[in-house]
Amino acid sequence: MAFVVEFVAGCGRPTKAHCRNGRSARRGRYYTAAQRPSANDPLPVVEAPGKKGVGNVSERVRDFMRRAPGDPLSGLMRADEMWLKMRMRTGKEHVRTVIDETPSEDFAEIDFDVLICGGSLGIFLALALAKRGIRVAVVERGRLIGRDQEWNVSRKEMKILIEMGLLTGEDIEEAIVSEFNPVRVSFKGMDDIHISDILNCGVSPKWLLEKARTRFVEDLGGTLLEEHLFENARVGHNAVQVNLRVQSGASGSLGSGGAGTEGESSSETVALRARLLVDAMGNFSPIVQQQRAGEIPEGVCLVVGSCARADWPSNDQGDLLYSFTPIEGNLQYFWEAFPSSSKGGPSDLRTTYMFSYLDTNMERPSLAEFYDAYLNWLPEYQGKEIHEIEPIRALFAAFPTYKNSPLRTKFDRLLMFGDSSGIQSPLSFGGFGAMLRHLRRIDLAVSEALKYDALDKGSLKLLSPYMPSLSVTWLFQRAMSVPADREVADPDIINKVLRSNFSAMDRMGDSTLRPFLQDVIQFPGLTRAITGMMTDPVLVWKILNHVGLAPLLDWWVHYVALAIYDVRHRLLPDTESSSSSSTFEHNRLRESLKFGAGRDYDED
């Protein structure tokens, strides 16, 4: 579940477009200008801590941030501004229009089949499509350089990149910079559960993106435009025109997951036309904001943490989901921990995260206040005092989640991908693992959409279908959180719920526990877990009281749908349709049933 963005100190300041390594790529094209950090309106910079809605930065946090390289405190304050804006939403805010339609317009020239805005995850889809011979361009607002903080996945999840022929086994081995087993799941008052080969590999985004970029540009002839900011797009009859603005400014990225250092817009613009536009710009994409029309997130995963060096008591195992405190201030703190960068031998680097699921109530703590709570509990969690820890990277993020997910396009020739699509679990920090899970499906679907010219919004909506396996997870997020305005009768209720749930799944074995820990819910496993919890009727009553009747009834609808999808997936004949349009729709139906029932996990 770990995919958190870290603060990165400002790096080089390119001043003009150039080819990678100062030379033309062998077949592809590669452009850069300079970075603007956000694809939306720039966030205001916090002039001083203590602004209303933004918590004061404690001396403990200031001291910890001062000891980390770069200037993570500035990043934290910008991230807090973004979190404040999220909490201040009313749903009535004006949303900038960046996509419009002129259905009667025919463009004389079309530059690409597919144009992907957002390279961090989009480069993998671009690589898959380019391998099919499809003309693809990737647009990135800054430099397409992976961050230092590792992405935690399993070898099983990374295998898809090998199976699709995008990277080699040797490539994957080089990308894995840390590996450990087992990982622990435990909650206050229960025995530890240990399980192997789940999120146990730390993959270097920097290395992985560099390899994918080289393969895309030099080997497959793809086009990469770096430091080009998405401005707007116009959907015509035969293509979509995407208008970009060349950027100049500092290259940097902040840990908010959406805010960054300020850049400067130049007067230079670029207009490109493609048959299909793919939005891979993440949760804070201006296209997503227009499509959601000011929608308020139903939930948020607030995450803080650090990668730090110390003489840790133990650094050869990880924590996948851990809690050791009761509810405090209507927040249940959860923890993750992983060894970092241990390739070639033992490492003294360890990454720790503290996170909570919450709503966007203005009474919720700022990221700075949340970080102070993290530093308060970290010594008890990891057995080291703060002064004994050398921070290498500071991590902080606020990930919004929406029940209206996956997000279905409202426009012809537009598709969302990665975090933009909302395809990741509301229990997850982000979308790298979800992207890997859906990459083969989206690759095939996009290639067929281009082949059959199924690029109208009705056809493209089939690529973002309703998935009950995703929707049922909302009850788990609700069970793991407390509304800001609710009195807490039992501070240990969440730990009790999770103890009962995970103990039941552990008794059922790996076939029940492993899919859930990898954000895949299946009807048989979920039913067995619920049945196991029914042995404690007193706790069941407390759970019902904690969750509430309305969320439970809503969940029941998705639970029934999960059962129906599971049965239909098993019964649907594996036959080809007679017409091109029927083939496209039939394949999308099969995919929606398989993924909607969580049965894609069975094929891994």
Residue matched to tokens 């004389």: 108
Give the pLDDT of residue 56.
83
Q: Are residues 312 and 337 in the same domain?
A: yes
Phi/psi for 573 (5° steps) reads -70, 145
Helix (H) or strand (E) holding 477, with range, is helix 473-479
Q: Is residue 345 part of a domain?
A: yes
Residues β-bridged to residue 308: 350, 391
- What's the pLDDT score for residue 325? 98
Res. 76: pLDDT tops 80? yes
Decide if pLDDT at 130 tops 60.
yes
Q: Is the domain of 225 the same as that of 131?
A: yes
Q: Which of 461, 478, 513 is at the close of a domain? A: 461
Tell whether 443 and 541 lie within a shared domain: no
First vs last C-alpha separation in the chain = 18
**Least-confidence region, from 5-14, 167-176, 284-293:** 5-14
pLDDT-wise least confident of 205-209, 399-403, 572-576:
572-576
- Is the pLDDT at 22 greater than 60, yes or no? no
Q: pTM score, two decimals?
A: 0.88
Task: Give the DSSP letter string of 94-152.
Answer: -----EEE-TT---S---EEEEEE-STTHHHHHHHHHHTT--EEEEESS-----SSPEE
pLDDT tens digits along 230-265: 999 999 999 999 999 998 653 333 332 333 444 566
Q: Is residue 48 domain-resident?
A: no
Residues 6+ apart with CB under 8 A from 224: 28, 29, 30, 31, 119, 123, 137, 138, 140, 144, 213, 216, 217
Q: How far apart (Å, rounded) are the C-alpha atoms in residues 81 and 257?
A: 12
Asked whether residue 388 falls in the same domain as residue 536, the answer is no
137/127 Cα distance (integer angstroms): 10
Asked, for residue 2, whether it belongs to a domain, the answer is: no
**Mean pLDDT over the full length of the chain:** 87
Helix (H) or strand (E) holding 391: strand 390-401
Same-domain check for residues 403 and 488:
no
Average pLDDT rounded to a whole number, residues 358-375: 97
Residues 181 and 119 in one domain: yes
Judgement on whether residues 442 and 578 belong to the same structural domain of the protein: no
CB 275 within 8 A of CB 284: no
Residue with tokens 């973002």: 464
Give the domain-ending residue among 415, 432, 461: 461
Q: Is 310 helix (H, G, I), strand (E, B) or coil?
A: coil
Could you tell me if residue 140 is inside a domain? yes
Task: Say how far apart CA 377 and CA 186 lie, in whole Å.
Answer: 16
- Exposure class string for 272-309: b at 16+ Cβ within 10 A, else e: bbbbbbbbbbbbbbbbbbbbbeebbbbbbbbbbbbbbe
> What is the CB neighbour count within 10 angstroms for residue 478?
21
Helix (H) or strand (E) holding 415: strand 414-416
Q: What percent of the chain clears pLDDT 70, i.e. is strictly above it?
A: 85
Decide which of 52 and 311 is more confident: 311
Which residues are 221's β-sheet partners? Answer: none
Which of 22-36, 367-381, 404-418, 435-449 shows the lowest per-residue confidence on average (mean pLDDT)?
Answer: 22-36
Q: How confident is the model at residue 33 (pLDDT cuts 50, 70, 90)?
A: very low
Q: Which domain holds residue 554?
A: 467-603
Q: Mean pLDDT across the stretch 459-486?
A: 95
- Name the residue with tokens 């671009």: 126
Least confident of 4-8, 310-314, 504-508: 4-8
What does the pLDDT average to over 69-90?
94
- The verdict on residue 215 lying in a domain is yes
Check if the beta carbon of residue 320 is closer than 8 Å to that of residue 185: yes
CATH, residue 199:
3.50.50.60
Amino acid at 67: R
Beta-carbon count within 10 A of 381 CB? 18
Which stretches of 227-297 are assigned E, i.e. beta strand? 228-235, 240-249, 251-253, 263-279
User: At residue 228, does pLDDT exceed 80?
Assistant: yes
In the predicted model, what is the mean pLDDT of residues 156-170? 96
Q: Are both 405 and 524 inside the same structural domain?
A: no
Q: What pLDDT score does 264 carry? A: 60
Confidence check: pLDDT of 576 > 50: yes
Q: How many domains is the chain built from?
A: 2
State yes or no: pLDDT of 152 exceeds 60.
yes
Residue in the structure block whose two tokens are 């590999």 = 201
Res. 53: pLDDT tops 60? no
Residue 119 in domain: yes
Backbone angles phi, psi at 44, to 5 degrees: -65, 145
Distances from the Cα of 279 to the Cαs of 136, 175, 351, 431, in angstroms?
13, 26, 30, 14
From the centroid of its chain, how far is CA 566? Answer: 26
Asked whether residue 441 falls in the same domain as residue 532, the answer is no
3-state SS, residue 5: coil
Q: Does 309 map to a domain?
A: yes
The rounded distance, in Å, linking the Cα atoms of 438 and 415 is 14
pLDDT tens figures, 388-437: 999 999 999 999 999 999 999 999 999 999 999 999 999 887 689 999 99
299 within some domain: yes
Average pLDDT of the residues in 222-227:
97
